[in-house]
């Protein structure tokens, strides 16, 4: 089945620890996005990538890092510099020219 897979579904981070959220898509989409959602809030863009080996900061990139070594994968690392990481993280992808977004099922990150 084609789709976007995010893992893990739930993740716990200890203080000072870096954690990595996985996002994989088999839709042959060009662009991939990471969004953060806080309880009762909308989605805010963290990072996005239009092509392999290239990515741009979104509106709240501080404390996060990404890589795009393969077209189908766009992992997000939440670093220890992100002081308030507890949130729901959503990955999305789209064809570059159309930008109709499709989302994974999300990862809930909590701090121990």
Partner 1 sequence: GIQVEQSPPDLILQEGANSTLRCNFSDSVNNLQWFHQNPWGQLINLFYIPSGTKQNGRLSATTVATERYSLLYISSSQTTDSGVYFCAVPTSYDKVIFGPGTSLSVIP
Going from the C-alpha of 37 to that of each of 40, 54, 70, 85, 97, the distances in angstroms are 8, 24, 25, 11, 25
CB of 55 to partner 1, least distance (A): 11
Going from the C-alpha of 14 to that of each of 38, 46, 51, 57, the distances in angstroms are 19, 21, 33, 25
Our CB check for partner 1 shows the closer of 18 and 51 to be 51
Instruction: Return residues touching partner 1 (CB under 8 A).
Output: 31, 33, 35, 37, 41-45, 48, 50, 56, 58-59, 88, 90, 92, 94, 98-103, 105-106, 108
CB of 103 to partner 1, least distance (A): 4
Our CB check for partner 1 shows the closer of 43 and 111 to be 43
CB of 97 to partner 1, least distance (A): 11
88-101 burial code (b ≥16 CB/10 A, e <16): ebbbbbbeeeeeee
């Amino acid at each position: 089945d084609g789709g976007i897979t995010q893992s893990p579904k739930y993740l716990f981070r200890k203080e000072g620890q870096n954690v990595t959220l996985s996002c994989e898509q088999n839709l042959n989409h060009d662009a991939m996005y990471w969004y953060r959602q806080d309880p009762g809030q909308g989605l805010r863009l963290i990072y996005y990538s239009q092509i392999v080996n290239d990515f741009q900061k979104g509106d709240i990139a501080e404390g996060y890092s990404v890589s795009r070594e393969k077209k189908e994968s766009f992992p997000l690392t939440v670093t220890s510099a992100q002081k308030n990481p507890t949130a729901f993280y959503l990955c999305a992808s789209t064809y570059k020219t159309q930008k109709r977004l499709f989302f994974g099922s999300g990862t809930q990150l909590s701090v121990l």
